[in-house]
């Protein structure tokens, strides 16, 4: 939404112009236009003053020079009593100001929930012009009829973000978008672009997009549901992972993000790669998830601030508000790989908002796990991925090739390791006894070399 002071700036300017015109005349207040006085009373929450003006014949839908009405002002201020009074006097529910905003849009923007409910109860509708289509043939292919989504036994997956629903008999994850998105042209455009990208993404290691609800409110994104949860929860339960498991998981992440980076015509940067945004499927494989409206970017886009991403995994160039590219995801990947082996988040003793400063000072998380857990080049790969200079970090295509080699080496080493079977706990003792019997039998059959 365009930045503005809807409640008093233009109104104050008008009042000052009236004062300058009439000087210190005691009757100056009487010459101020009644409509301006109505707006001022709405701004101040003066219910009695508003009632007097309306009873005297002033129009309830008077507009100032920005096209705003008293209902706009009251909605911004959250003045429920004023809104109710204006509606009683027949105020227009959906007048648009010069920015295209209605009173309901303003109430949503300023999160005045009581006013929102009051306006909606009287029939006010959220703005849907940016996503709404006028002809059936214009409805996007990904559009899902909200009536097909059953939230009867719905539970939250992540607080305030995703919840479970049934769609055509299948459990799915649904993300509901707040009404504030509908009144912000930039967010609506980003959302539309995001959905267009989602349609193109098809990879085993990327969360599958199923569709969206865009022609009614609330708007929703529907994806596959993975009941095994995220990598963060898995590591909390398991602690440090075996090197073979860590490398296998790292391959899943690298393949998913690498696919996004090789998207045509422009690479897709995840920019918020961290364990909570990586999900596990029923077969134990990982899938990259959580492409928020502000996070799914192409390299040609203007960088966002680091507050939009998880601070503990953010690359230093993002924290320093420098230009960045796909290598920010490589930096985050290195931290995740090390965390899987160490069993704790990077710089876990530091406050999350302090960690980016540590990275910016060229410090990196220490390697505390036994050296053997970082064998076969794992440690070297991690160090290369979190280098200070993004240009010197490897691409995910290069990372995948090295991880495949490491995983193969670990597998070959493990296949020669012999363990005693539980069904033969005394196998070694039995073998020794058999060898002893053979030795005795062999010596008794040999001819004597001396005789008496």
Catalytic residue annotation: 272
CA distance 408 to 367: 23
State whether residue 171 is helix, strand or coil.
strand
Cα-flanking dihedrals φ and ψ of residue 209, to 5°? -80, 130
Which is nearest to 74 in space by CA: 137, 164, 6, 173? 6
> What 3-state DSSP class applies to 298?
strand
Please give the structure tokens belonging to residue 162.
Answer: 């995703």
| CA pair distance 62, 36, nearest whole angstrom | 8
Return d(Cα 343, Cα 239) in angstroms, integer: 5
Cα distance between residue 314 and residue 306, in whole Å = 7
- CB of 1 closer than 8 Å to CB of 184: yes
Closest to 47 in 3D by CA, of 78, 79, 18: 79
Closest CA to 50 of 85, 10, 7: 85
Residue 304 CB neighbours (<10 A): 14
- On the CB side of 249, how many CA atoms lie within 13 Å of its CA? 27
- Coil, strand or helix: which one is 409? helix
Name the helix (H) or strand (E) containing 221: strand 220-224
Q: Which of 50, 141, 35, 113 is nearest to 87 (CA)?
A: 50
């Amino acid at each position: 939404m365009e930045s503005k002071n809807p409640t008093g700036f233009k109104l104050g300017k008008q009042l000052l112009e009236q004062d300058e015109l009439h000087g210190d005349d005691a009757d100056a207040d009487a010459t101020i236009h009644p409509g301006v006085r109505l707006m001022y009373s709405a701004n101040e929450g003066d219910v009695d003053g508003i009632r007097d003006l309306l009873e005297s014949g002033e129009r309830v839908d008077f507009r100032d020079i920005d096209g705003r009405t008293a209902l706009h002002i009251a909605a911004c201020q959250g003045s429920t009593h004023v809104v109710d009074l204006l509606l009683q006097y027949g105020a227009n529910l959906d007048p648009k100001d010069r920015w295209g905003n209605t009173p309901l849009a303003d109430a949503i923007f300023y999160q005045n929930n009581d006013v929102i409910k009051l306006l909606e109860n009287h029939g006010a509708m959220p703005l849907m012009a940016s996503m709404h289509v006028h002809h059936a043939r214009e409805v996007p292919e990904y559009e899902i009829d909200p009536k097909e989504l059953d939230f009867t036994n719905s539970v939250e997956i992540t607080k305030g973000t995703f919840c479970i629903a049934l769609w055509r008999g299948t459990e799915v994850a649904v993300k509901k978008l707040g009404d504030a998105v509908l009144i912000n042209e930039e967010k609506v455009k980003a959302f539309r672009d995001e959905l267009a990208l989602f349609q193109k993404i098809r990879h085993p290691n990327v969360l599958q997009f199923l569709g969206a609800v865009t022609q009614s409110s609330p708007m929703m994104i529907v994806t596959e549901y993975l009941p095994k949860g995220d990598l963060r929860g898995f590591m909390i339960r398991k602690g440090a992972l075996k090197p073979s498991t860590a490398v296998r998981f790292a391959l899943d992440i690298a393949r998913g993000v690498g696919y996004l980076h090789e998207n045509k015509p422009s690479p897709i940067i995840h920019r918020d790669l961290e364990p909570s945004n990586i999900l596990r499927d029923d077969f134990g494989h990982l899938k990259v998830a959580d492409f928020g409206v502000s996070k799914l970017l192409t390299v040609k886009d203007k960088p966002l601030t680091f507050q939009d991403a998880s601070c503990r995994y953010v690359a230093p160039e993002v924290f320093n508000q420098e230009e960045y590219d796909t290598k920010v995801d490589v930096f985050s990947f290195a931290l995740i790989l090390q965390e899987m082996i160490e069993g704790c988040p990077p710089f876990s003793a530091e406050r999350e908002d302090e960690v980016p400063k540590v990275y910016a000072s060229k410090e990196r998380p220490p390697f505390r796990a036994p050296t053997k857990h970082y064998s076969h080049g794992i440690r070297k790969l991690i160090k290369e991925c979190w280098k200070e200079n993004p240009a010197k970090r490897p691409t995910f295509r290069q990372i995948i090739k090295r991880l495949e080699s490491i995983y193969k080496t670990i597998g070959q080493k493990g296949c020669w390791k012999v363990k005693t079977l539980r069904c033969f706990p005394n196998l070694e003792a039995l073998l020794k006894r058999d060898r002893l019997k053979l030795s005795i039998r062999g010596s008794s059959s040999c001819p004597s070399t001396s005789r008496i």
